[in-house]
Every structure is written in structure tokens, then in C-alpha cells.
Amino acid sequence: MKQFALISLFILFYVSINARTITGRVSKLGGEMITGAKISAKDAPSIFTFSDSEGFYKIEIPEEIKALIFSHTDFLTKEVEIGKINSLNVVLVPNKYKKLGFGVGITYGKGSTLVYNESNVNVVDTSVLINHGSLSFDAHLFYRFGKRYELQGIIGDDFNFMKYTDSLGILQTGVLNRFTIAVLVNFHFNVAKNGNYSIYTGLGPQFQHFGFLNSNVIGIRLQAGMSLNNYGFNTKLFIAGDISNGVANLENLEGFNYKYSSFKIGIILTF
């Protein structure tokens, strides 16, 4: 009996001196603490604990354990090498993308509008090339379906600061206003294993009203960019180009055709 007691004490002593305690907090993107996250020892699933209401956890593990596994039903499982540290804070990523988001954006770009009279063959040159720098303020609505695809709606107002030379050779300047509504389908290529950052491309039709030319037309918009944080408050950096052809309806330009094209860079903040 004494021998059994001595052996038990020896085992307990051996385990205690060969064990270590790891503490820390488990949070999600944005800093909010996660309650009920399971923290278990790799290759020893019977050794585990859970984070409390403040995201705090404490776990005792044998010295030979080299990694901890953090899991939760609403988040992607994460394995973390512990090395020689005794304090470990972990951020978990949601296992589902944020589906619906509203955003505001601003873009700056360069473009040109060629106004010409295609039917007037008796006039030597009736074309006017208008170059403009543009500043646009946009509202965006995003709906994410699946890991790859996203539907994007855009309502924007462009202020195009134009410059051109008229038929008399006089330099003219002014502001060309353009109101747009676009619906795009974006395709995301993941650049991070957890999908939190992605590169995307998008294409779709764009309705445009040109105040300067009193014209409505449907054109095409093409864009590419990077999406930062696909699970919550999101930032998108992008470049975009659009083209359209139409007919002017101003009194002095009645029946004149035009070709519009622009190239922009911008940023969108999504909530």
C-alpha cells in the first residue's frame, strides 16, 4: 500500500514538473471577445478548456505539446504553435462571409468625350474632343453569395472638369456633370488562406445621364481591386474603366453623336 502511494505521488510530481500553463484571450476581428471557444491540445484532444465571457482561457498541458487548437461553431478553426511562450492571444475569423454591406466611395480619374456629327458629310470637321478630370462620390450596396461571387449596385455623381478647344480655336473650360447607376457582378480570387483578403474583378451595365449633353445612355463598366476584411467592416481599393456611346440632345448639338470613356481609381468603405 505504501509502495502504491509512493508511485502515485511520484507520477503526480512528474506530471506537475513537466506541465506548463498557457493563458490568453480569444477574440474576433474588430476586437470583440469570443465566449465559449474551445482550446485543446494538439494530439491530446482530451486536454481542453473553454474561453469565458471575457474571452479569457487557461489551460495546463504537458511539456511535449507544441500547438493549441482554437475552435468555435461560428469561426474557422485555427492551429497555433506555442513555442516557449506562456501567454497567447488569438483572433478567430468567422466561417461565413458578411453577406450584405452598404458603402460610400470616392474616385478620381481621367476621361474624354468625343462629340461629332456623323451624318453631316458636307462639313469638314464637326468633332470636338473634350478632355476631363473627374471626381465622383458614390453610394454602394453589396450582396455576397458564396465565397467567390458578389453583386454590387452603384449610384454615383461625377463632376468632370472639362477642357477643350472650340471650332474657333478658343480654349473652353467647364464642368460636365454625369449621374450613373450601375449593377456589377464581382468575382473574388482569395489571396489569404482564410479568405479575409481578396483580389476581385467586376463587369456590368451602367446607366448614365450626361447633364452637359442632355443625354441618357447605357454603357459598360469594368473594374478590378482588392477587398480588405471580407467578414466585417470592409475597405475596397479599385481601378475602373467605363465606355459609352450616345446621341446629344442639346439645341446646338441636336443629333450629334458622342463617345465617352474614363479611367478611375477609388476607395470604398463598407459597413
Residues 39-95: pLDDT tens digits?
A: 999 999 899 999 999 999 999 999 889 999 999 998 889 999 998 889 999 998 887
Are 178 and 70 within one domain?
no
In terms of residue numbers, what domain contains 56? Answer: 18-92
pLDDT of residue 196: 75
Are 31 and 119 within one domain?
no
Residue with cell 511535449: 64
Q: Any idea of the CA torsion for 138, 141, 146, 147, to the nearest 10 degrees?
A: 30
Tens of pLDDT, residue by residue over 5-51, are 444 444 444 445 568 999 999 998 778 899 999 999 999 989 999 99
pTM passes above 0.95: no
Are 112 and 219 within one domain?
yes
Average pLDDT over residues 129-154: 91
Are 235 and 159 within one domain?
yes
Confidence label for 137 from pLDDT (cuts 50, 70 and 90)? very high
Are 143 and 265 within one domain?
yes
Phi, psi of 5 (to 5 degrees): -65, -40
Are 119 and 213 within one domain?
yes
Q: From 72, 92, 112, give the residue that closes a domain.
A: 92
Are 79 and 105 within one domain?
no
What are the residues whose beta carbons fall under 8 Å from the beta carbon of 156, sequence distance 6 or more? 107, 136, 137, 138, 139, 179, 180, 181, 182
Q: What is the CB neighbour count within 10 angstroms for residue 132? A: 24
CATH number at residue 69: 2.60.40.2190
Q: Is residue 52 part of a domain?
A: yes
Q: For the chain, what is the domain count?
A: 2
